[in-house]
Amino acid sequence: MGARMPGFHLQGCPPYSHFTTPVLQPSSWQQVTFALTVTSGRKTTMSYQTEIIVDSQPGPLGPGAVFSVGALPGGAWSSELCDCCSDVGTCLCGALVPCILASRVSERFGQTCLLPCLPGALVALRTGIRERYRIEGSVCDDWLVMVCCLPCGLCQLSREQDARQ
């Protein structure tokens, strides 16, 4: 009367059982946790959990592998900070109702529309967009733009999303 599970052998039933663990390959590490519980009379339950621990990083991409984000190469913003003439509608929205434009940019980035309500979230949003599209800059630059020129910064983020998608 024994149950068989992958890599484990349950020999004999209540109250005691014997376990044997599988032989681990030298190139992998595993941590195995198991428990044996007698719940009532002859009924025995067994549970196990396997956690794989990765001990090496994946290798380099093969020849010819291409990784691209968006249509434009990284390096610089597709428009200047105060380039309002390129998209007048977005600039009017940013000047008159920046909370709406911030929510729209946040949603297009894949976050909730309520993200702009959190303190410091617009700086994080600008940093996230800059890093996604590999645009040069720093968190300090992002902070200065979003604190000193919020409407222009939101318009630039919106124009960047338009250009990259």
Is residue 129 scored above 70 in pLDDT? yes
- Quick one: DSSP state of residue 156? H
Sign of CA dihedral 114, 116, 164, 74: negative
Residue, of 62 and 32, whose pLDDT is higher: 62
**What pLDDT sits at residue 30?**
47
Share of the chain above pLDDT 90, in %: 50
Delimit the domains of the chain by residue range.
4-53, 84-164
**Residue whose tokens read 């009532």:** 40
The angle formed by the CA atoms of residues 127, 130 and 134, to the nearest 5 degrees, is 135
pLDDT digits (tens, 9 = 90+) for 1-52: 444 444 444 445 444 444 444 444 444 444 444 444 444 555 555 555 555 6
Residue, of 142 and 59, whose pLDDT is higher: 142
Helix 121-132 vs helix 98-108: angle between axes, to the nearest 10 degrees?
40
Q: Do you know the residue count of the chain? A: 165
Reported confidence tier of residue 64, pLDDT bands at 50, 70, 90: low
Exposed / middle / buried, residue 152 (Cβ in 10 Å: 0-12, 13-18, 19+):
buried
Average pLDDT over all residues of the chain? 74
User: Is this structure's pTM higher than 0.75?
Assistant: no
